[in-house]
Amino acid sequence: MTPIPVDPRPFVHIVGARPNFMKAAPVIEALGARGVAQRLVHTGQHYDEAMSDVFFDELGMPEPEVNLGVGSGSHGVQTGRLMIALEEEFVANEPSAIVVYGDVNSTVAAALVAAKLGIPIAHVEAGLRSFDRTMPEEINRVLTDAIADVLYVTSADAMAHLANEGIDPDRMRFVGNTMIDTLLRLQPLFNVEAVASQLGLSGEYAAATLHRPANVDSDEDAARLVDGLHRVADKLPLILPLHPRGRGRLERLGLDRHDDLRIVEPLPYVAFMSLLSGASLVLTDSGGIQEETTVLGVPCLTLRENTERPVTITHGTNRLVGTDPDAIEAAAEFALSNSYESMMPPLWDGAAGKRIAADLVETIGV
Ligand code: UD1
C-alpha cells in the first residue's frame, strides 16, 4: 500500500499583541493534542514584560520559535515593518497554513503577506463589525476576512455580517470563542481574595481599563473620561490596571487625583480575571473584556459609542454607555442597584479550540 503523503510543513500561528495570546492558546493546545506540526511566531508588536511575556507561562503556551521584534510605531510604520518581517519569516520557514487571531495590526499584516505568497489563511474571531471605520481594528477585521480562506466565527451576528459582505458560506465556521475557552479552563485558579489583598482592596470595588485611541489620544476625550471615572470613584473604590498607551496623558489630566481611584500596572491574566470576577462593576473600552464580563456575570459599562460584540448585550451583562460623564455616572448608579440577567452566548462552552483544530486538519490537511 502506498503511504498517504504527510505535509511536514507546520501550521504557523501569528501572535503579537496581548489579546492574541488568550485566543491562540486553546488552538495551539488542541492541534498539539492531534500531533500536528506547529510553529509560533511572535511579531513583537507588544514587548513589555507586563504586556507579553507574563502571559505565556500562565496560559500554558509554548515559547515562540521566533520573536520578530517589530515594536511600536504609527500604523504605516508598524504594519510595514510587520509585513517585511513576516514575509521573510514565511519564505524561510514555509507554513502549510497560517492562523491569525482577532483584529490587531499583526493580524492583518500576516494575512496580507500570506495571501500574496499563496499560503492558506485561517482567521480566528472573524466577522465582528463595529461599523466604525475610524477604529483601526475595524479596518483590520474587514481586510483580514476578505482575504482569509477559513473564517472561524464566535457569534451568529458575525456570521450574518460575513454573508452580507458576500463571503462564500463554505469559508465560514461558527465554532464559539477561544478567548472564553481560556477563561473557562483557568477559572478554577481565579482568586478574588488573593488579588484584593495584593492590591490592598477591601469590600466592594469597581475595576476599569482604558486604551482605545478614540478615548485616550486627545486631551478633550481623555478629560471627559477622567471626569466620568471620578464620579464612579465617588460611589465606590475604583482600580485601573492601565495599558501604557494613554497612561501619561490620563495621569497628566489628574486621573489619579481622587482618594478612591488607584492606577496600577497591567496585571497578568489570572490576577486580572480574579479582579474582574470580584468587581461589583467593570468599566472598559476593551473588546475582550466585554466578553469576559458576560461569562463572569459581572456588569460591564462599555465606554464607547458602538461595539463589535453585540452578543454581550443581547445575552450578557454589557451596556453601551459612551463617554459622557453624566451617562457614565447614571449607568454606574443603575448597575450598582439592579441585577443583570445573563445567558451564555451559544457555543461559548470551552470547546472552540478543539472545533477549530478538528476543522483545520480536515480543511487544510497535514
Ligand atoms: C493594540 C491593538 C488593539 C488591542 C490592544 C490590546 C492594533 C491596531 N491595536 O493596541 O486592538 O486592543 O493592542 O492591548 O493593533 N506600548 C508599550 N508597550 C508595549 C506595547 C505598547 O509601551 O508592550 C505603548 C507604545 O507607546 C505604543 C502604544 O502602546 O506606541 C500602542 O501600542 P500598539 O501595539 O500600537 O497598539 P495598542 O494600543 O496596544
Chain center to CA of 50? 15
User: Which residue, judged by its Cα, is nearest atom 12 of ligand 1?
Assistant: 286
C-beta of residue 255 within 8 angstroms of C-beta of residue 223: no
At 356, which helix (H) or strand (E)?
helix 352-364
The candidate with the shortest Cα–Cα distance to 215, out of 91, 86, 303, 88, is 303
Active-site residue among 123, 211, 230, 243?
211
Task: Give CATH for domain 188-337.
Answer: 3.40.50.2000
User: How many other CB atoms are there within 10 angstroms of residue 131's CB atom?
Assistant: 10
Same fold, 11-177+348-363 and 188-337: yes
DSSP state of 236: S
pLDDT given for residue 4 in this prediction: 55
β-strand 11-15 against 261-264: which pairing, if any?
unpaired
Listed by start position, the domains of the chain span: 11-177+348-363, 188-337
CA 100, 102, 107: angle at the middle one, nearest 5?
A: 45
The candidate with the shortest Cα–Cα distance to 105, out of 128, 132, 135, is 135
C-beta of residue 243 within 8 angstroms of C-beta of residue 262: no
Place of cell 521584534: 69
What whole-number distance in Å separates Cα of residue 98 and Cα of residue 12?
A: 5
User: Which residue, judged by its Cα, is nearest atom 13 of ligand 1?
Assistant: 17
Tell which atom from ligand 1 comes closest to the C-alpha of 73. 30
User: How many other CB atoms are there within 10 angstroms of residue 245's CB atom?
Assistant: 17
What are the E-state strand segments in 20-75? 38-42, 66-67
Residues 6+ apart with CB under 8 A from 327: 228, 321
The grid coordinates listed for 358 are 478538528
Quick one: fold of 11-177+348-363?
Rossmann fold (3.40.50)
Q: Which of 104, 105, 106 to mutate to test the pocket of ligand 1 (most atoms within 8 A of CB)?
A: 104
User: Which residue, judged by its Cα, is nearest atom 9 of ligand 1?
Assistant: 104
Q: Is the pTM of this model over 0.85?
A: yes
pLDDT tens, position by position, for the chain (366 residues)? 565 556 779 999 999 999 999 999 999 999 999 999 999 999 999 999 999 999 999 999 999 999 999 999 999 999 999 999 999 999 999 999 999 999 999 999 999 999 999 999 999 999 999 999 999 999 999 999 999 999 999 999 999 999 999 999 999 999 999 999 999 999 999 999 999 999 999 999 999 999 999 999 999 999 999 999 999 999 999 999 999 999 999 999 999 999 999 999 999 999 999 999 999 999 999 999 999 999 999 999 999 999 999 999 999 999 999 999 999 999 999 999 998 888 999 999 999 999 999 999 999 875
Collect contacts of 214-218 with beta carbons under 8 A, ≥24 apart. Answer: 214/134, 214/135, 214/285, 214/304, 215/246, 215/285, 215/303, 215/304, 215/323, 216/245, 216/246, 216/249, 216/250, 217/246, 217/249
Tell which atom from ligand 1 comes closest to the C-alpha of 103. 11
C-beta of residue 175 within 8 angstroms of C-beta of residue 152: yes
User: Which residue, judged by its Cα, is nearest atom 16 of ligand 1?
Assistant: 244
Specify whether 161 is catalytic.
no
Q: Which of 56, 67, 72, 132 to mutate to test the pocket of ligand 1 (most atoms within 8 A of CB)?
A: 72
pLDDT given for residue 153 in this prediction: 98
Q: How far is the CA of 82 from the centre of ligand 1 (A)?
A: 14
pLDDT given for residue 339 in this prediction: 87
Place of cell 485616550: 216
Q: Which of 18, 43, 46 to mutate to test the pocket of ligand 1 (most atoms within 8 A of CB)?
A: 46
User: Which residue, judged by its Cα, is nearest atom 22 of ligand 1?
Assistant: 244
Q: How far is the CA of 38 from the centre of ligand 1 (A)?
A: 26
Q: How far is the CA of 184 from the centre of ligand 1 (A)?
A: 26
pLDDT given for residue 16 in this prediction: 98
At 14, which helix (H) or strand (E)?
strand 11-15
- Find the DSSP H helices in 234-346: 247-252, 269-278, 288-296, 311-314, 325-337
The set of protein residues with a Cβ atom below 6 angstroms from ligand 1 is: 17-19, 45-48, 51, 72, 78, 103-105, 136-137, 211, 243-245
Q: How far is the CA of 4 from the centre of ligand 1 (A)?
A: 44
Q: How far is the CA of 45 from the centre of ligand 1 (A)?
A: 7
C-beta of residue 342 within 8 angstroms of C-beta of residue 264: no
